[in-house]
């Protein structure tokens, strides 16, 4: 379905938006998204974005501003692909966008640091030439929303991202949700439910872009805050937002980039899902969520011959981390931070020992993630918690650091992994949203 159904009040002339921001307007909205301390910097980001939009798409245009958070996985490491449970959180590193409706069915996207994209939306079938290209995400998303009966149309957008690429904060999911949010607000009055939008994003990534992915990343970016997701029904996951002001707990959430990269790790990632599902089939189920921990242990001798030792260990991790993800969400709901941190630590140990995704099997010299975890444990001294972050094998760890230990922790991690390796983050309650500047 194509056409215009713009939400009243969202669109304003670009010049008016610039004037309102420059004169101090939108303070409450910026504080809602970024916190009081980051409001001046956020204001300058949006002003720079508006300047870019006016330059790239000149004319007397009415536009809207948007913000979509990145996400961090909190619990359930490699559980989603076997219909398990996960806990994730939106963070204050985000993609911001300025977009206006177009007269033609064409999406023109200028994303800072990337080649401009021009995607014709009058023909929405998948194109082989666009596989693994951003245009595939745009076309696939528009196609899926149209199939579901939502309106689509052309637009002109400038994007700017602080979601660190390759950090496990889901820059690709944030991009997808940003495009979906633009279509939602410009043509559907903001009525597309967050989870439905996330599903459309996953469809675009799976079917058009050509990359298999779950639904955790897109859902968390769309919903915001702490999000507990149960994938028992993979087509219709159960999503619950967990209300908690994490800033009031006295803990800082830090992502540490150990300097590894994910370029040649596709096989390592795929092996985890494959081995878990091989074990599930050996236990008479399609995924491990349909099997049982008790039977895994009871039939371990038979399974050693059928699937191998590592598959058994990884499956044991699944059962334990699936349970832990639900327990972590429950602890946060009760405000039991100490119990939550204990479970985070258990999850980290399980990923290291059972899941075995802290370094590639062939890596004997460079083991940045285990080094970061070992040093974190030393520095935290039994306080806080740490774990591998995201897919693993290289890249980032996640640490919950008491505020009193934060300066020393950051100093040591930066000494080991570089001045730009540490990223203290804030859990953001707002998901994908239009940014209202009165």
Reply yes or no on whether the pLDDT at 168 is more than 90. Answer: no
* Chain segment 269-327, per-residue pLDDT in tens: 889 999 999 999 999 999 999 999 999 999 999 999 999 999 999 999 999 999 999 99
What's the rounded mean pLDDT across residues 253-273? 84
CA neighbor of 31 nearest in space, from 20, 40, 39: 39
Q: What percent of the chain has pLDDT over 70?
A: 95
Verify that 239 and 251 share a domain, yes or no: no
Reply yes or no on whether the pLDDT at 386 is more than 90. Answer: yes
Question: Does any domain span residue 72?
Answer: yes
CA neighbor of 130 nearest in space, from 99, 146, 107: 107
Verify that 179 and 327 share a domain, yes or no: no
Q: Is 304 in contact with 312 (CB distance < 8 Å)?
A: yes
Question: Does any domain span residue 6?
Answer: no
Q: Is 425 in contact with 257 (CB distance < 8 Å)?
A: no
Verify that 411 and 321 share a domain, yes or no: yes
| Buried-exposed string 375-396: b where 16+ CB fall within 10 A, e elsewhere | bbbebbeeebbbbbbbbbbbbb
How far is the C-alpha of 294 from the C-alpha of 403, rounded, in Å? 40
How far is the C-alpha of 406 from the C-alpha of 253, rounded, in Å? 10
How far is the C-alpha of 137 from the C-alpha of 160, rounded, in Å? 17
Domain residues for the domain of 281 are 246-425
What's the rounded mean pLDDT across residues 376-391? 95
Verify that 379 and 406 share a domain, yes or no: yes
Q: Is 420 helix (H, G, I), strand (E, B) or coil?
A: coil
Verify that 85 and 224 share a domain, yes or no: yes
Helix residue ranges per DSSP H, 206-265:
216-223
Number of domains in the chain: 2
Verify that 94 and 203 share a domain, yes or no: yes
Question: Does any domain span residue 139?
Answer: yes
Q: What is the pTM of this model?
A: 0.90
313 burial type by CB count under 10 A (0-12 exposed, 13-18 middle, 19+ buried): middle
Encoded tokens for 92:
């204050």
Q: Is 29 in contact with 435 (CB distance < 8 Å)?
A: yes
Is the sign of the CA dihedral 65, 205, 241, 339 positive or negative? negative
């Amino acid at each position: 379905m194509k056409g215009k159904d713009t939400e009243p009040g969202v669109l304003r002339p670009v010049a008016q938006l610039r004037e309102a921001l420059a004169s101090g307007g939108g303070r409450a909205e910026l504080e809602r998204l970024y916190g009081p301390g980051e409001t001046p910097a956020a204001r300058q980001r949006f002003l720079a974005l508006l300047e870019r939009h006016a330059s790239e798409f000149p004319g007397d245009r009415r536009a809207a501003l948007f913000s979509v958070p990145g996400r961090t996985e909190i619990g359930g490491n490699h559980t989603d692909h076997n219909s398990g449970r996960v806990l994730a959180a939106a963070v204050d590193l985000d993609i911001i966008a300025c977009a206006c409706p177009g007269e033609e069915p064409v999406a023109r996207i200028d994303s800072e640091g990337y080649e401009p994209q021009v995607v014709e939306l009058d023909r929405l079938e998948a194109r082989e030439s666009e596989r693994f290209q951003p245009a595939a995400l745009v076309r696939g998303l528009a196609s899926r929303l149209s199939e579901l009966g939502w309106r689509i149309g052309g637009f002109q957008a400038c994007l700017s991202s602080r979601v660190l690429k390759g950090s496990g904060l889901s820059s690709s999911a944030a991009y997808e949700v940003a495009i979906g949010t633009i279509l939602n607000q410009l043509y559907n009055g903001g009525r597309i439910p967050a989870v439905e939008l996330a599903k459309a994003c996953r469809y675009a990534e799976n079917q058009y872009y050509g990359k298999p992915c779950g639904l955790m990343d897109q859902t968390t970016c769309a919903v915001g805050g702490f999000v507990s997701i149960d994938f028992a029904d993979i087509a219709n996951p159960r999503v619950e937002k967990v209300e908690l002001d994490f800033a009031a707990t006295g803990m800082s959430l830090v992502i540490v980039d150990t300097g590894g990269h994910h370029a040649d790790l596709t096989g390592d990632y795929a092996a985890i899902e494959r081995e878990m599902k091989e074990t599930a089939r050996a236990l008479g189920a399609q995924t491990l969520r349909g099997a049982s921990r008790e039977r895994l242990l009871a039939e371990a001798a038979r399974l050693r011959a059928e699937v191998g030792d590592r598959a058994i260990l990884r499956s044991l991790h699944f059962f334990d981390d699936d349970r832990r993800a639900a327990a972590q969400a429950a602890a946060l709901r009760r405000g039991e931070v100490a119990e939550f941190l204990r479970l985070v630590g258990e999850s980290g140990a399980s990923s290291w020992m059972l899941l075995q995704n802290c370094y590639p099997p062939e890596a004997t010299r460079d083991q940045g993630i285990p080094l970061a975890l070992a040093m974190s444990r030393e520095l935290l001294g039994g306080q806080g918690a740490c774990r591998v972050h995201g897919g693993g094998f290289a890249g980032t760890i996640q640490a919950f650091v008491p505020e009193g230990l934060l300066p020393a922790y950051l100093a040591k991690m930066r000494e080991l992994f570089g001045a730009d390796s540490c990223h203290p983050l804030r859990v953001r309650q707002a998901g994908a949203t239009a940014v209202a500047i009165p």
